[in-house]
Structure formats: structure tokens, C-alpha cells
Structure 1
């Protein structure tokens, strides 16, 4: 539909930006994903290649529960890290349920909200798609690239994303200025 309304090339650019943006918002790294990545055999093989099979690995973590209790520093785990990560990987079935303790954190709630918010935003922009607005719609569809970082940094980027999205959508809603004939 976008290709028909904005031209094939512009429609393809919008579709690609939307697909990338949606993927970025849906593929965030929560605690379960970090555990899976640490246990990945390919990652273990890479560590062994780079540092040798006898290298001592330590992991620095700042669990949300401890952070909420006021702990300011990360904890270091060595031998217990793989056990903890196996437990977290197994607990991933709790993701998104009432038993997902990590999902209670503000940043996780915002990450989940963003997916639907972004879909609505892009659909609203597509309603205003014309050949003249195609570049603005593509730019709006690419806004999730702004969202980076961890915890407070990420939340600040989300606020910036929302502000820029609202401004971009308002520009699309405003009627185009009429050109006076000479």
C-alpha cells in the first residue's frame, strides 16, 4: 500500500525503516536474553579462542532487585554465574507473566509499551502518506534508532523518541502550505 501511495522506491524505504524499527523495539535484551547469550556455545567457543580454555571468566551484574534496594555497585560472579544463567534461561517462560519479576522494572514496562505505540505511530503516519510526505514518514519510521543504552539512559532516549515522533506526526497532520501563483 505504501508503495502505491508514495511510489515504489519511497514505499520500499518506509517498509524497510518500519521493519528495522519494529525489530529493534521487539528484540531488546532483558535478563533472560542476557543469560541465553552467556550460555551460547558459540559465545563460549569465541571466549576460549580469544582467552584460552583455562581463562577465568567473571561477570558483573547489577540486578534490578538489588538496585531497587539502593545498591549502587555491580556484583561480580565467577563460578556461580553459569548456574545463575541456567536458572534465568529456564525462567524465560515467565517473561511477560505476572511472575516475571524483571518485567516490573520501569524500563521493561516502557520497552513493552513501545511496540504498540510505535505501530500506532507508523499507522497514523501512513494514513497521511503521499509522495510529498514520503520522506517524513520514512524518517518517522526510523526513529527507533534513537533508542539506545541501559536503564536511565534508555528511558531518556525513549522520551526523546516520543518528543520527536509527536513533532513529526504533527508536521504530517498540518496542511501543506499553498503555493501562490505568480
Structure 2
């Protein structure tokens, strides 16, 4: 806040030193240099264009309000919102598939006498995450559903040029050293291509889905099927003793992040974690050994 005020005062001519000197002092102080430089710059911008800053703060406020609303929403509200998202993402059938699995988990939890329905909430969150993987059709839809255009209109004025840095699996070259796909720059004509591609989302997962043959897309669809099979296997065995372990299992997609090679590394760790949890569920002796080990560590710590 102090650096923002300093930037504001500087821009109004109330500080008898150059902005270079102030920035040099920030660097010499060597504390949150980038953050403090940004605060100073925001203060300068606020002095010249207060309406711009006010609009940005308003957008931030709305974003925080939406985040709070989502965190405080009920299970039913979350499921309905995600059903709507999946309908836009693909179709009504996918939305109903999602709701059906979530309902099965809820029934199993309620039968067990669970009130908080933690497993149902976890499945509602992470099954959705797996179903709505961001492929080429979804990227195209997000760029052309009106929100991106609205963002551009609110953020920029005058003439500007759009460029998209993308690495389409079908045409992107691989880095000879890392093996990772290299991004290419595409011009504003990509918006027209996105508009066409977004309308072809009905091809997703079919034999006519040209993007679906890539290893990454096949892996994403495999994760969905694996998760569904995992739920099928776990629900008949759900009891008070293994509840926490099963809750951890159905929450594993939380650890799947990123794209490409980054995602692959996360998947390897998730697979190892899943194998350990499954071993403890289906091998009571291993689970007992784990519990005894944990108790031993606690006694040692005390």
C-alpha cells in the first residue's frame, strides 16, 4: 500500500526524485522487489487513469465474490452447476452420466450413516474434473462463447493484434532435447477456426474425432473409465473402517495438474499413491501394519 501511495504521489509531481531512483532503491532493499515495483507502477497508473484501476478492482471483487459463493454452495447446488457446465461442454447425456454416478455414491454414504457426505462431495468435484478435460474443442468453445471477446473489449482500446501461442498435437513439432511439443504462433484468424471447431464438439470421443487419437487424449479418456471402474469396485466394500482410505482414493484427481509432460509426471505419482491405498484396502494386514507404524511414530514424538 505504501508503494502504491508513493507511485500515486510521484505521478502527481509530489516526489522530488526520478522514478529510476525509486526503482533502484527498491532493488537495493532486496525485499519483494517485483511485487513492490508493481505496486509503485499501479500507483502511477491510478494517478493518471483512476477509472481503469476502479474497473480492475471491481472485476477482482466480483471474482472473489464468485469464489466465495462457490465455496459456500450446497452439494446440490454444486452438482446442478456442474451438470449445466457438462451440458455446455458436451451434451445432456454426459451431464446425466455425471449426476448418476454422484447419486450412487451419495446413496452408499447415506446407507452407511454419513452426514457430511465427504465422499459424495469429492466425487462430485473430481469426476467432473476428469470428464471436462480441456481438449481442442473445449479451448475453441471457451474462446468463442463470448467471454473472451468481452474481456478484450473491457481490457484493451484502439488497435491491437491477437496472437495465439499453441501446440496442437497433430501439427506441433517436438523439441529434440526434451521431447516436449513446441508452441507455434497463430494469428487472429484462429478465432474463425475456433468458431468452426467449437461446433464440432459432438465428434469428441467418436471414431471421427481426429484429436482423440493422440496419446494425451486417449489417456484422459482412460482416466475417466478408470475412475468409474474404481467407484464400481469401492462402493460395495464401503464401511466405517475403510472410509478414510476410500475418500483419499476418490480424491486423487486433485493431484493431477498441468498439461503435457507436466501432467504425465503428476499421473505417475497419482498411480503410485493409488496402488498403495488399494493395497491397504484389500490387504487388511498391510493396513494394520500402517496403523501400527503411525501409532509408533506418535508415541516416539510424544
**1:26 aligns to 2:138 (yes or no):** no
Question: How far does residue 127 in structure 1 lie from its aligned partner after superposition?
Answer: 2.8
- Structure number, greater radius of gyration: 2
**1:9 aligns to 2:118 (yes or no):** no
Q: What is the SS of the residue equivalent to 1:148?
A: coil
Question: How far does residue 53 in structure 1 lie from its aligned partner after superposition?
Answer: 5.8
C-alpha distance in 2 between matches for 1:112 and 1:129: 26
Per-residue CA deviation, residues 43-64 of structure 1 (Å, 9 max, x unaligned), is 2111221123633221111111
Task: Tell me which residue corresponds to 1:119.
Answer: 228
Superposition map of 1:33-48 within 5 A? 33-48=138-153
C-alpha distance in 2 between matches for 1:43 and 1:153: 26
Query: What is the aligned counterpart of 1:137 among 230, 242, 246?
Result: 246
**Structure with the larger RCO, 1 or 2 (CA within 8 Å, 6+ apart):** 1
Q: Give me the TM-score of the superposition, normalised by structure 1.
A: 0.86
Q: How many residue pairs align between the two structures?
A: 175
Q: Which structure shows the bigger proportion of residues in helix conformation?
A: 2
Query: What is the aligned counterpart of 2:259 among 150, 155, 161?
Result: 150
Task: Tell me which residue corresponds to 2:90.
Answer: none
Superposition map of 1:57-72 within 5 A? 57-67=162-172, 70=174
Give the unaligned 5+ runs of structure 2.
1-107, 176-180, 290-302
Residue pair 2:140, 2:194 contacting (<8 A) in 1 also? yes
C-alpha distance in 1 between matches for 2:162 and 2:278: 48
Give the unaligned 5+ runs of structure 1.
none
Per-residue CA deviation, residues 65-90 of structure 1 (Å, 9 max, x unaligned), is 223x5475322122311122122113
Q: Give me the TM-score of the superposition, normalised by structure 2.
A: 0.54
Question: How far does residue 149 in structure 1 lie from its aligned partner after superposition?
Answer: 0.8
Q: What value does the CA root-mean-square deviation take over the aligned residues?
A: 2.0
C-alpha distance in 2 between matches for 1:126 and 1:33: 32
Residue pair 2:123, 2:250 contacting (<8 A) in 1 also? yes
Residue pair 1:37, 1:43 contacting (<8 A) in 2 also? yes
Task: Tell me which residue corresponds to 2:216.
Answer: 107
C-alpha distance in 2 between matches for 1:112 and 1:103: 9
